[in-house]
Amino acid sequence: MKYENVVSGKFKSRPNRFIAHIEIDGKEEICHVMNTGRMKELLLPDAEVFLCPAKNPERKTKFDLIGVRRNVTKSARVLGHSAKVSFFIWITSLSFSILIITH
């Protein structure tokens, strides 16, 4: 799936399976969570998240939560090499896709 106009924000809280409170440019927004799974290991306070603006201007939430960045501070073995790793985890629908970036 191709997303346009993706913006980043900071995860603040998730009061239920369907919405999350996200800080975008200093303003807190209520966003739709596309993946209704638990995700407590990913959606940590102040985690960098990625959002896509809603196409319907009359919708209650202005954004969909589509991804979260998860940094690994320890060195990890990636393709046989030791490297610091960032995980970009796309959390749309009920599936996860992981893009691994080495530093």
Which candidate, 87, 1, 81, 95, places its Cα nearest to that of 42? Answer: 87
**Digit-coded pLDDT (tens) for 75-91:** 444 444 444 445 555 55
User: In one letter, which amino acid is 102?
Assistant: T
* CATH of span 7-102: 2.40.50.580
* Per-residue model confidence as pLDDT tens for the chain (103 residues): 677 888 999 999 999 999 999 999 999 999 998 877 778 888 889 988 889 899 998 999 999 988 888 765 544 444 444 444 455 555 554 444 444 444 4
pLDDT tens, residue by residue, 88-103: 555 554 444 444 444 4
